[in-house]
Amino acid sequence: MFDVIREIGAITRKTQMRSNAEFRDLGLDNNGFIYIIRICEAPGMFIAALADSVQIDRTTAFRTVKKLVAASWLVLEPDSEDKRLRRVFPTTKAKEIYPRLHAFEQASSDELLKNLNSNEREQLRQLIGRLSY
C-alpha cells in the first residue's frame, strides 16, 4: 500500500507545480494562491485557523501571510474582542483575482477526477476522509 501513498504525494506535487506556474506572474507562487482562496472563502479567519486549513505550521503560515499583506493581497486586522489576535481579510485585489484562482482549482479537480464516475468520486471522498495523518 506504500505505493498508493507515494502516488497521492506525486499527485499533490504535480498539482502544486502546475498551480505555482499558473500564478507565478501574480507573485502567488510558493502556494500563495491557496491562502487567497481560503481567505476569500472565509474572510476574517485567524492565522492559526488558516494554517490548519492549508495544513501548514503556524510559523510558515504567518510568514506567508506577511508576504501577501506586503503585496496587498491580504490585510491583517486586530480581533475586536482580543487585540492580541489578528484576523486575515482579502483586499479588493484578492477578491478580484479569486474567480480566476477558483476556476483553476475547479478545472484541475475536474481534470484529475475525469475518469471517475459519481459513485467512484464519492467512494474516494469517503476513503480519503478515513485516512489519518
Structure confidence at residue 132 (pLDDT) = 73
Range of the domain at 64: 2-130
H or E stretch including 45? Answer: strand 45-46
Q: Taking the model in full, what pTM does it have? A: 0.86
CA-to-CA distance for 109 and 114, rounded, in angstroms? Answer: 8
Structure confidence at residue 100 (pLDDT) = 96
- For residue 33, which of 49, 16, 12, 51 has the smallest C-alpha distance? 16
Sheet arrangement for strand 86-90: 45-46, 86-90, 74-78
Cell of 129: 476522509
Transcribe 59-111 into DSSP letters: HHHHHHHHHHHHTTSEEEEE-SS-TTSEEEEE-HHHHHHHHHHHHHHHHHHHH
CA-to-CA distance for 6 and 128, rounded, in angstroms? Answer: 14
Structure confidence at residue 31 (pLDDT) = 87
CA-to-CA distance for 87 and 43, rounded, in angstroms? Answer: 8
Structure confidence at residue 2 (pLDDT) = 84
Report the chain (133 residues): mean pLDDT per 10 consecutive residues: 89 92 90 94 95 92 95 95 91 97 95 96 93 75
Q: How many domains does the chain have?
A: 1
* CATH code for the domain of 11: 1.10.10.10
Question: Is the distance from CB of 60 to CB of 121 less than 8 angstroms?
Answer: no
DSSP β-ladder status, 74-78 and 45-46: unpaired
